Amino acid sequence: MSPISIDDPAAGRRRRIRGHLRANVFAYVLVAPAVALILGLVAYPFLYAIYVAFTNRVVGNDGEWVGLANFRYLAGTAIFASAIRNTVLIVVVTGLLKLGLGLGLALLVTQHIPGRGVFRAFLMLPWAMPAFVAFLTWRVLYQPIGGGINLILTGTGLYPDVVDWLGQRSTAMPAVIIASVWRGFPFWFVSILAALQSIPKDLYDAARVDGANALQRFFAVTLPGIRQVLIITALLSSIWTANAFEHVWLLTQGGPSDATMVFPVLAYFGMQTQRIGEAAAVSVAMLPVLAILVIAATVFMQKDED
């Protein structure tokens, strides 16, 4: 039998297949450490937390499998209902306020105003400040005695009485929302500003030629141009706000009387009482909503890239 010719098509295909296999194996070897790191630091703790939520585990005791007992217990408590209501309230209200404030300021700084660069940098300060420092500052401002807000109100005569902003149910939640909006609106501002600057100027010129006024140009040009960014920013901000812990803990610790109790604080209380199973159940109860938000954010970001 004669030897295989160098130009034999079958031999060439086999060489190409071996080359592809070697390249694929080398790629998998390079990716393997990153995959192992992700599985060890993300997947395993995530799945283990779900498992713990179905047990009666406490500190020092692994506990036993109890199925949905933790979830049934939480569903029957008033504090769990308060956490659901307050979490939804904070996410929705702060989201709308951040949207209005961020959009308004982004539209403002796109105009040719003196000191525009300094103004932009100043607006980013709340986001650049550590959350711990920011909310402790707000806690001092809300103090009934010597707090900055009460000093301004009483000093100017706008409201003569001293208000315990964080110590009464009627004002605790608005106080937390205001501090959260102040801390988080720069993310909306910078995202919307970047989207506004990417809109072609020719579209505005064409709209002016057609006789569109400022409001018509906003709805016909500006809003469609930033729509994708608004949706993605809203989804990401909602996820972060729902998972945020420090804004409530540093200001009210969920009080007074569960008036500001949210899911992360409730889970932390479960850890403090050493009932790890119940604390994990609180966190797992948030997963369906957060999963929907994460999937929606991923879909919209992929659609935006396409």
Q: Please choose, from the candidates 98, 134, 130, 105, the residue with its C-alpha nearest in 3D space to the C-alpha of residue 120.
A: 105
Q: Is 300 in contact with 235 (CB distance < 8 Å)?
A: yes
Residue bearing tokens 């988080």? 184
CA dihedral 32, 36, 42, 44 (to 10 degrees): 140
Provide the token pair at 121. Answer: 């940098």
- Output the tens digit of pLDDT for each of the chain's 306 residues: 445 444 566 676 777 777 677 777 877 888 888 888 888 888 888 888 899 999 988 887 878 899 899 999 988 899 999 999 999 999 999 999 999 999 999 999 888 778 777 888 888 889 888 999 999 999 999 999 889 999 999 989 888 888 999 999 999 999 999 999 999 999 999 999 999 999 998 998 898 888 889 899 999 999 989 988 898 899 889 989 998 999 999 999 998 889 999 999 998 888 888 888 988 898 888 888 888 877 877 787 777 666
Q: Where are the domains of the chain?
A: 78-305
Classify residue 113 as exposed, middle or buried by CB count within 10 Å of its CB (0-12, 13-18, 19+): exposed
Could you name the CATH architecture of 78-305? Answer: Orthogonal Bundle (1.10)
What's the pTM? 0.83
Q: Is 145 in contact with 260 (CB distance < 8 Å)?
A: no
